[in-house]
Structure 1
């Protein structure tokens, strides 16, 4: 049996992944642990942590859940991990994606395989099609516009979500996250050219060129509730590139709000 370690972050994804695996070891970056039993580790002691994984027979690692860039304590680094700091700091200058890829490289250099969510629970990434509702032609144009915006922002490592209404971008997901973006869109809904026209679309997609084994965008029931509170017509996302948690409850909430859910083929 292949022994798997889960690096668990916050949110509902980590519990779903853990439930799908046979006796995984569960770890979490200190300060970002989910509400479950985990073994914490510090990034300043990354190399001893990797030694621990290998010593316990771990062969593959899955990253599941949300974390933010931690504040590092220069005095907490062990000598071997300290040697990696120039590599990681250089990568961080290119954005979080580059820094994360550098960390993944370190895992692989120690002989650990990085396993993506789609390898473990492929059903969490809906393929092309409408899950519920029926976007209008205006909604489809807004979704296409949002997809183009996210594709254009890719080189800047900004975010994985945008809200477009009547062809205008109301909000872009940045470091504060999805909830902050949707709150902002709700507060500025009056900027739509026609207040009685199309209400707008929340669109999600991976960053162009990102490593899809980690940090895939995630939607779920709370996303539907937040989009409904923002007065939007629906949620669209890149088919096969976005994790949808608790599909049945997400659809139920969308139906209750009169919204569509659409895995859009680009």
Structure 2
């Protein structure tokens, strides 16, 4: 069996996967984006030196790659490109102009050019992706209607490769996810709680889902204890998501947080 490379960004997911990867594996980090995986010296790389990094993975006997955790687009230094990596720049720049999903698809394609199999986090730990059902709490009919509305908004956002989340209360969209991410979306919703037309009506729902047609091996949306805390701070009734399409991180802690704050968790 070939070895695995865990290309880790920030957040809880790399640490969770590090505990369940079978066989030989190495930790890799893009410079400037340290992971949360403790006690392991990573192989660090820069995009400007991507080809030597890929060659190094192959030389190490790596055959499988997992991308996990958050990474922002790095600032590239033209002077650091080696000649072979420079030939990939037109591919990457063209993809980056189309959005995050197009960029990540091109990244996957480049890794596959080196015969590296890219696998999703859910293939390593299927329990990270819950199937349909209410995990805790009791969404009302009004919550279900808000979740339906939010799902339609997320599908529209995803079709133009913008975001994977939306906050809806009483049928009105309070916030959508864009480049700053889920935390920023929920902070915005928290600042604008007064926009609900009926203060005593439905409190609202945050909904998350992959983009339509997204390659689900990379950049699946995620939910964790911090999401619950921020949803509660925004005055929302709960969190809903597309069943089978969202990573539930630290499941026990996330459920405990939701129960303590009176929020529902619903895989739709």
TM-score, normalised via structure 2 length: 0.97
**Counterpart in the other structure of 1:8:** 8
Q: What is the distance in 1 between the residues matched to 2:91 and 2:109?
A: 11
Residue of structure 2 equivalent to 1:151: 155
Q: Give the structure 1 partner of residue 75 of structure 2.
A: 71
1:49 aligns with 2:53: yes
2:44 counterpart residue number? 40
Deviation at 1:156, TM superposition (A): 1.8
Cα shift at 1:2: 2.6
What are structure 1's unaligned runs of at least 5 residues? Answer: none
Q: Deviations 1:110-153 (Å, cap 9, x if unpaired)? A: 11000111111000000000000010000000001000001111
Equivalent position SS for 2:235: coil
Answer whether contact 1:91 1:98 (CA < 8 A) is retained.
Answer: yes
Give the corresponding residue for 1:119. Answer: 123
Deviation at 1:230, TM superposition (A): 0.8
1:196-249 CA-to-partner distances (Å, cap 9, x unmatched) read: 110000111001111100000011111111111111000000000000011111
**Greater shift after overlay, 194-203 or 92-101?**
92-101
What's the CA shift for 1:24? Answer: 1.4
Deviations 1:33-79 (A, max 9, x none): 21334221001111100000000000000001000111111111000
Instruction: Give the secondary-structure state (helix, strand or coil) at the position aligned to 1:169.
Output: strand
Distance 1:30 1:66 in 2: 13
- Unaligned 5+ residue runs, structure 2? none
Instruction: Tell me if structure 2 keeps the 8 A contact 1:33–1:40.
Output: no
CA contact (8 A) 2:224 2:250 kept: yes
The corresponding residue for 1:168 is 172
Distance 1:107 1:133 in 2: 42
Hey, what does 1:30 align to over in structure 2?
31
1:103 Cα deviation from its structure 2 partner: 1.2
CA-atom RMSD in angstroms: 0.9
Residue-pair matches, total: 264
CA distance in 1 between partners of 2:206 and 2:158 (Å):
17
TM-score (norm 1): 0.97
Equivalent residue, structure 1, for 2:200: 196
The answer to whether the 8 A contact 1:165-1:198 is kept is: yes
